[in-house]
């Protein structure tokens, strides 16, 4: 029976060494993920400081250009959709400015606040779907103002200057139009047509803006499909609530394992130093190693995994954004690892300092 207890205790020690760093990491991740104000603050900082959105827009414009080439389209031909083709010439550096002109930081922050609050309020409510209604009116008004015009001017400046042949083509079509509207060549025409060309692009932007609804109700869009959508969202809510509870209780796993080891394998303070101290030092060391290497490990996992097909431009910005979010969970790991290691060392030292009980001398048998 004693051998069985020691064997089980050793098995629990092995599990403890692995479970200790993982449980602390899970708890720290849950502390960040389910902290509503903190998540909101992080996402707002990301949208203001990160270039992820401009990088994604630059990539989409590159995709549009590649699709045009693969479809044997000529981006400079006159019958191309003006605005879509215009933005294929915009470089990455200009997309950040265009985004700020069309969608102000305040608008993005408002959308983030509404989305985050709606999600977390739904998680703790009896509602079937989250109440998230995004107000697009500020976007519409800003795009229809001088900010939208500024965005068009930035994109227009990225166009190549028209060649003599393109100017001649434009003049020919302009003369044949006899006052009717014509589509401008996808290049920068010289004065006096450049201002009219910019105005034409701005009018095209207005046509697109007219199709944007003043608000967007996410719950309504979800219910627009099948009726089972609401059932699915309720299932997701239940799963998220379960995950949140498990993450909060994660530190109890090593505590339970320590108590099992105590009950099965510890009979003295010296043994306590061995059965508790050593696994705590090893588990703390693994936690410390994880806190120092998580950036390299995470980037490696994402590179060969879900982001393997993502373009380099977007991938680099996505890595920066993801790491800034993950860093919030990993930030306390070093201090936690040091505490665990020190506690384990103290137990080892105390256990080693304990002298074994002297074996009582046998009582001589009287002759």
Residue 326 confidence (pLDDT): 83
Span 221-267, pLDDT tens digits? 766 654 555 567 788 889 999 999 999 999 999 999 999 999 888 88
Span 101-152, pLDDT tens digits? 988 889 989 999 999 999 999 999 888 888 889 999 998 999 999 999 999 9
Structure tokens at 155: 């994109």
Q: What is the DSSP string of 99-130?
A: HHHHS-HHHHHHHHHHHHHHHHHHHTSS-SS-
Structure tokens at 166: 């393109």
Which pTM does this prediction carry? 0.76
CA–CA distance from 301 to each of 18, 33, 294, 297 (Å)?
A: 20, 20, 10, 6
Would you give the distance in Å from CA 308 to the centre of its chain? 16
Span 57-106, pLDDT tens digits? 777 776 666 665 555 544 444 444 467 778 888 888 888 888 889 888 89
For residue 273, give the DSSP letter: I
The fraction of the chain above a pLDDT of 90, given in percent, is: 32
Residue 53 confidence (pLDDT): 76
Among residues 331, 364, 321, the alpha carbon closest in space to that of 53 is found at 321
Structure tokens at 50: 């990160």
């Amino acid at each position: 029976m004693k051998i069985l207890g020691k064997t089980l205790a050793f098995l629990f020690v092995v599990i403890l060494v692995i479970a200790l760093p993982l449980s602390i990491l899970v708890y720290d991740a849950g502390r960040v993920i389910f902290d509503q104000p903190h998540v909101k603050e992080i996402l707002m900082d990301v949208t203001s400081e990160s270039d992820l959105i401009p990088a994604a827009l630059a990539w989409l414009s590159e995709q549009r250009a590649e699709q045009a080439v693969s479809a044997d389209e000529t981006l400079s031909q006159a019958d191309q959709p003006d605005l879509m083709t215009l933005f294929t010439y915009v470089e990455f550096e200009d997309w950040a400015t265009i985004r700020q002109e069309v969608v102000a930081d305040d608008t993005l922050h408002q959308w983030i606040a509404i989305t985050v609050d709606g999600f977390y309020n739904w998680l703790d409510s009896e509602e079937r779907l989250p109440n998230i209604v995004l107000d697009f009116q500020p976007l519409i008004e800003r795009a229809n103002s001088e900010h939208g015009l500024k965005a068009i001017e930035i994109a227009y400046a990225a166009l190549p200057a028209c060649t003599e042949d393109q100017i001649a083509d434009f003049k020919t079509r302009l003369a044949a139009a006899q006052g009717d509207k014509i589509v401008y060549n996808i290049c920068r025409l010289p004065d006096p047509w450049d201002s009219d060309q910019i105005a034409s692009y701005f009018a095209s932007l207005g046509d697109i803006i007219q199709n944007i609804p003043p608000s967007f109700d996410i719950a309504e869009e979800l219910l627009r499909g099948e009726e089972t959508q609401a059932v699915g969202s309720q299932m997701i809510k239940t799963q998220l609530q379960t995950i949140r509870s498990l993450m909060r209780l994660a530190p109890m796993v090593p505590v339970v394992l320590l108590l099992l080891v105590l009950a099965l394998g510890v009979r003295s303070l010296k043994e306590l130093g061995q059965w508790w101290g050593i696994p705590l030092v090893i588990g703390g060391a693994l936690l410390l190693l994880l806190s120092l290497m998580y950036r390299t490990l995470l980037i490696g996992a994402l590179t060969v995994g879900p982001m393997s097909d993502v373009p380099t431009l977007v991938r680099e910005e996505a890595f920066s954004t993801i790491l800034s979010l993950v860093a919030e969970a990993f930030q306390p790991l070093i201090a936690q690892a040091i505490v665990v290691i020190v506690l384990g060392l103290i137990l080892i030292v105390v256990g080693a300092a304990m002298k074994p009980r002297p074996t009582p001398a046998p009582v001589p048998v009287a002759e």
